[in-house]
């Protein structure tokens, strides 16, 4: 299949032609109404600046370990681990959560079981297989991380135990939430890095689109969180959700950014003898000051993870895609781990036209690796769109990048049928922009109303100041 050689407009037509027999609507109209595509969402053009939100509440634990500031769009948490044990840090975090968000159970427990039912479609009322998987992964973690999780779960949940839907979160359910991506797999995502000839300053711009299961009632939109873990040289910031200690998107004070992207390579799931890549991301943020070493660590340990995935790794000087293949994929000979950069050869007929840029979607794309993108409309179309946008977009600043990333309207339903695969999708949860020229970070947080066409980008600060 010729991938990039097919223009986007034609590709979308081919994808939708069989499912949308309606060419025009004429009944009762003076003139026929023709179907339209879903490009060019309207709204005021963006500027380089983000919106600075005003705090509406705050809380600090008596021991001073955890401070939470409440904003309209998100919670900002500072967890000071410089002079306490990991268990005490987790415990303080739990105490603060109960104080600022009493409805935490309601938001989270139903969400956990929506994920469980997707990962275990045949499960009945016995959730022992879920609990066994969770404990296997929990005991694979560094002891420091285990203690942090235990402090959080035991303080938050008390003596409420077991995995069972009862509208009250238990110790085990809270532990499971710390490794959802590794145990239950809910992510999608895409990413783009631009630098050199593609940016006005020559410095790197990075955008990361987190596509996460928001929940049937957009539960996770209520608990967006920017978590600053303060611990000397191990300090880092995680952009995720309240009460979650692993990393799905994070950046440290050296500018090393890591972000998860799912890559379903159809390998069987294995947890025995494996560990969590989301906690590996936390490790690299604590230990490494450059993208190369961070990606190398992920490559060296890729066989030990549960699922195939891709990690976006940038530091302002280098942009990498760690295509991580677990052992079960490598052993079949169908795929392998590779750290891809802008010069890495791509799969046959897959084209990227712009130098000084790197694109990531939910498929391996390096030459001779596991090829599922040929049969994946969503990944093929998004890669194609990114390629055309970057190629034709000239030189980017932050405003131009925002306008490009939000140019599609969210609603892809035309006559009740899904017609076009978007980059700006209706499962977009957070769109994170990092300007390495200034160090500023902005996030478009999806609210409880769901994804909107022209989101607000919130200025969450400067990574150089987070320590």
Segments forming the whole domain that contains residue 338: 186-224+255-268+290-465
Model pLDDT, residue 348 = 87
Backbone angles phi, psi at 295, to 5 degrees: -65, -35
* Per-residue model confidence as pLDDT tens digits over 261-291: 999 998 899 999 999 999 999 999 999 999 9
Identify the bridge partners of residue 427 per DSSP, sorted by sequence position: none
- Split into its structural domains, the chain has a count of 1
Residue 307 in any domain: the answer is yes
CATH number at residue 259: 3.60.60.10
- 434 lies in a domain? yes
Answer left, alpha or beta for residue 442, where phi above 0 means left and psi between -120 and 50 means alpha: beta
Whether 32 maps to a domain, the answer reads no
The secondary structure of 342-382 as a DSSP string is TTSPBSTT-----SSEEEE-SS--BTTS---GGG-HHHHHH
Is 151 contained in some domain?
no
Backbone dihedral region of 184: left (phi > 0), alpha (psi from -120 to 50 degrees) or beta? alpha
Residue 405 lies in a domain: yes
At 20 the pLDDT is 30
Local mean pLDDT, 10-residue blocks, the chain (467 residues) = 37 35 35 44 84 97 98 98 97 97 86 92 93 97 98 96 93 96 89 98 98 90 97 97 97 98 92 97 98 98 96 98 97 96 94 97 96 90 96 97 94 61 91 98 96 96 93
User: In degrees rounded to 5, what are phi and psi of residue 166?
Assistant: -140, 15
Contact at 8 Å (CB) between 356 and 196? Answer: yes
Q: What pLDDT is attached to residue 414?
A: 56
From CA 212, how far away is CA 419, in angstroms rounded? 21
**DSSP per-residue codes, 410-442:** S--EETTEE----SS-TTEEEEEEEETTT-EEE
pLDDT at position 15, please?
36
Q: What pLDDT does residue 2 have?
A: 31
Whether 300 is covered by a domain: the verdict is: yes
Residue 420 resides in a domain: yes
Q: What are phi and psi of 232, to 5 degrees?
A: 60, -130
Residue 49: strand, helix, or coil? coil
Q: Is residue 397 assigned to a domain? A: yes
């Amino acid at each position: 299949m010729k991938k990039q050689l097919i223009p986007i407009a034609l590709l979308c037509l081919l994808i939708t032609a069989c499912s949308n027999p309606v060419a025009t609507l004429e009944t009762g109209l003076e003139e026929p109404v023709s179907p339209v595509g879903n490009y060019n969402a309207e709204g005021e053009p963006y500027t380089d600046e983000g919106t600075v939100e005003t705090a509406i509440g705050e809380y600090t634990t008596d021991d001073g370990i955890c401070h939470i500031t409440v904003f309209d769009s998100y919670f900002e948490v500072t967890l000071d681990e410089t002079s306490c044990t990991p268990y005490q840090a987790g415990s303080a975090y739990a105490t603060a959560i109960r104080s600022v968000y009493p409805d935490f159970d309601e938001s989270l427990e139903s969400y956990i079981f929506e994920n469980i039912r997707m990962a275990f479609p045949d499960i009945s009322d016995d959730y022992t297989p879920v609990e066994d998987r969770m404990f296997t992964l929990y005991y694979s973690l560094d002891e420091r991380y285990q203690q942090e999780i235990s402090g959080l779960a035991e303080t938050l949940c008390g003596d409420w135990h077991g995995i069972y839907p009862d509208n009250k979160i238990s110790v085990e359910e809270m532990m499971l939430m710390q490794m959802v991506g590794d145990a239950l797999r809910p992510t999608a995502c895409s990413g783009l890095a631009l630098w050199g000839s593609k940016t006005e300053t020559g410095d790197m711009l990075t955008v990361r689109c987190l596509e996460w299961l928001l929940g049937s009632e957009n539960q996770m939109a209520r608990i967006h969180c920017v978590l600053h873990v303060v611990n000397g040289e191990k300090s880092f910031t995680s952009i995720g959700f309240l009460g979650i200690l692993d990393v799905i998107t994070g950046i440290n004070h050296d500018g090393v950014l890591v972000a998860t992207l799912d890559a379903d390579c159809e390998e069987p799931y294995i947890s025995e003898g494996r560990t969590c890549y989301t906690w590996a991301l936390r490790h690299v943020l604590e230990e490494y000051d450059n993208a190369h070493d961070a990606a190398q660590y992920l490559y060296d340990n890729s066989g030990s993870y549960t699922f195939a995935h891709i990690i976006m790794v940038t530091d302002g000087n280098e942009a990498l895609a760690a295509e991580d293949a677990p052992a079960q994929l490598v052993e079949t000979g169908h795929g392998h781990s590779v750290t891809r950069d802008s010069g890495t050869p791509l799969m046959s007929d897959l084209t990227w036209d712009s130098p000084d840029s790197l694109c990531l979607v939910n498929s391996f794309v390096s030459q001779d690796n596991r090829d599922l993108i040929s049969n994946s409309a969503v990944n093929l179309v998004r890669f194609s769109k990114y390629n055309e946008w970057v190629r034709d977009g000239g030189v980017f600043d932050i405003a131009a990048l925002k306008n490009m990333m939000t140019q599609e309207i969210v609603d892809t339903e035309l006559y009740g049928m899904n017609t076009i695969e978007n980059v700006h999708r209706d499962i977009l949860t957070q769109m994170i922009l990092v300007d390495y020229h200034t160090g500023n970070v902005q996030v478009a947080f999806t609210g409880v109303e769901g994804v909107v066409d022209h989101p607000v980008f919130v200025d969450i600060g400067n990574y150089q100041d987070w320590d």
